[in-house]
Structure 1
Amino acid sequence: MRASVSLPTGRNSRGWRPYAAGAAVVAALLTSTACQGSDDGSDQGKGSGGPSATSSTTPGATTSTPPSQNASPSAGTPTESAPPKPGATKDGNGNGGGRTAIPTCTQEHLSVTSELEPPDSKQPRHLLLTVQNVSEKKCNLFRYPRVRIGADSQADTPVIKHTDPDPGKPVILDPGHEGYAALLVSGGARDEYEATSITISLQGAKIGTYAGSPIDVPMPVAKLYADDGQLVTYWTTASGFALRAIMSR
């Protein structure tokens, strides 16, 4: 049944206005309540400017922060290393190790002598050449002496190759120490010639070079008879090792 509302009569316009204002307030409250969401929270947060401080990140979403310009490179990122310092792995001989350079022996470092083997030999064919370091510093003897027997010799005496005691390395002479090379003057009466002098030249570190000036070796006898069979050994610090290579020849 439809209810009817009767308005009081006899009210002036002033009495109606307060009533109308109160009705407007009630209507506004009803409209506000209708606009609110349900109590289950499924629409919570809609219409706001962003997620609340307690809201969780949407599943699957990721956020990244731009890397700092001062950040260090991550593991596995190639980094440029400083180049090695020049000469850091070289010693004075260019072989590495950073040791002090040892000079090459020259005539200024050495005294030179020669003697017959055996000393009372009637046929002077075998000689022991001896050099002694008379300087105050050690020096290097490279390979073997370049020997010329006689002033008219046209070629160096051939070397016995298997007599190198430490192939590829020099003999290091400390001050006061000696080095040896054995010399076979004649090997079998082939193109024999008379010689009254022996000259040796010391080799430099590089093959084919010489160190210092030629050295005149004092003769153990006034005269030698040399031939094309002459031979010399490498430098060594063991005189017996050098002599064994020629005494059987």
Structure 2
Amino acid sequence: MRTFRHARLLAATGVALSALTLTACQSGNGTRDEGAAQSGSPSATKDVSKPAPEKSPQQTGGNGGSAQSSGGSADPVKSARNDSGGKAGQGAQDDDGPQDLTICNGSNTRTTARPVSRPLNHMLLTVTNTGSKRCALMYYPVLRFDEMQWVPQAIEDTQPQAVTMLEPGGSGYAGVLLSAADGSGTGGDTGHKLVVGFQGRTPNSDGGPAAAPGLPAKGVHYDSALSVTYWQTDMEDALD
């Protein structure tokens, strides 16, 4: 009888342990630590220790990315060439003409200014080459009487077909219309000092030292009609 009771007690105990084990497995609260097993696995260790990849400048939108997105170039020389369609400065060299061309100016010429009786109200400028090389009289003279604040205009239909070149000892000419013959000019004044400026290889550029030819003691009268011809090789063409 005692043996039978002992067997029943063991059987009940076994059923209870089985039920307890089954309940623990279903609830996840058993003796096995699932989290510890995962943290100790090779894959979990790799994920934790591996640093986050750094983003490239293009991804972060930094300096490198902005330069790429905007199409900019780190080479300013290359940019200048691209903008000009070729080598930088090449166009300016072509416009300037031959680099060995000597420009006539106040340092290698002598300039005189002489009022003439005909045509009326005109003055003749004469420039003589005093140097040892041929020089070029470019475009037209730039005149300034005393402290005049404006520049006389050129008479466009007097422009010659070729640049006026002066051999050593040779002369070039320009005519100056001082005032309107019909009295239509305004702002009349008398000039006592004249400065003649010379142009360079390009229009309105500086051709070098100016000249200061003497004027008659009484001065010369001019008004708003004041204008000049282009440099000519012939005196008559300058006064025509």
- Taking structure 1 as the reference length, what is the TM-score of the superposition? 0.53
Q: Does 1:157 align with 2:152?
A: yes
Q: What CA deviation, in whole Å up to 9, does each residue of 1:132-174 have, x standing for no partner?
A: 00101101111000011x21211111110000111xx421110
Q: Does 1:110 align with 2:106?
A: no
SS at match of 1:242: helix
Higher helix share: 2
Once residues 190 and 213 of structure 2 are traced to their aligned partners in structure 1, the CA distance between those partners, rounded to angstroms, is 16
Unaligned runs of 5+ in 2: 1-89
Q: What's the RMSD between the two structures over aligned residues?
A: 2.4
What residue number does 2:179 align with?
186
Once residues 156 and 215 of structure 2 are traced to their aligned partners in structure 1, the CA distance between those partners, rounded to angstroms, is 25
SS at match of 1:131: strand
Deviation at 1:221, TM superposition (A): 4.6
CA contact (8 A) 1:114 1:220 kept: no
SS at match of 2:154: coil
CA contact (8 A) 2:128 2:170 kept: yes
Once residues 209 and 166 of structure 2 are traced to their aligned partners in structure 1, the CA distance between those partners, rounded to angstroms, is 19
Q: Does 1:175 align with 2:168?
A: yes
Which AA in structure 2 matches 1:107? G
What residue number does 2:200 align with?
204
Unaligned runs of 5+ in 1: 1-86, 245-249
- Taking structure 2 as the reference length, what is the TM-score of the superposition? 0.55
CA contact (8 A) 2:143 2:152 kept: yes
Once residues 137 and 197 of structure 2 are traced to their aligned partners in structure 1, the CA distance between those partners, rounded to angstroms, is 11
Once residues 203 and 104 of structure 1 are traced to their aligned partners in structure 2, the CA distance between those partners, rounded to angstroms, is 8
Over 2 Å off, 4+ runs:
none
- State how 1:1-249 maps to structure 2 within 5 Å: 94=97, 101-118=100-117, 125-148=121-144, 150-166=145-161, 169-187=162-180, 188=183, 189-244=185-240
Count of residues paired in the alignment: 145
Q: Which has the larger radius of gyration?
A: 1
